[in-house]
Amino acid sequence: MDLLQTMRTHDLEEVVAIYDPATGLLGYVVIHDTTRGPGIGGIRLVPYPDETTALLDGVRLAEAMSRKCALAGINAGGAKGVFIDHPGITDRPAMLRALGRYVESLAGRFYTSGDLGMTPADLAHVGETTRYVAVPDDQRLDLAGATADGVVQAMRAALQVAGRSGDLAGVRVAVQGLG
């Protein structure tokens, strides 16, 4: 894959390839657009089959974050951290601290939080070495549950916009992008 061509095709501002041989950290930070403010987006740590798949997922997600920020009127742009979870990672906390050091080196161009494969405890390890990560005060916070609640609230609001009550009983819905 031609990285510069990918950056031109998707109008990316910055792609940082990250490899830390001491911890096995391997992946990318993709910054799509910082016109409205710093790039924001979560960190994914999943068993991508290869670097190209990870990079393209990061590109897609960073672009989506730019759109979400613009639609929400947030003074930020889109970015994403995508990292490959693999058996060579033997000390996860050390790998996460290394990740935090890379985030810190971006000097505020990338603010992050959790996404797939990351737990509140993982974010706390990242937060040991960077100030640019949102770490829940209560590490038992159920991020997946909070996301699910947000989806349910959005469905109720959509029904009300359509002139129906917010009662979901008997309503059929399709959820796109699950997982």
Residues with catalytic annotation? Answer: 80
Tell me if residue 138 falls in helix, strand or coil: coil
Give dist(CA 39, CA 155) in Å, integer: 28
What does DSSP assign to residue 164?
S
Distances (CA, A) of 108 to 62, 79, 103, 175: 16, 12, 8, 33
* Phi/psi of residue 15, nearest 5 degrees: -130, 125
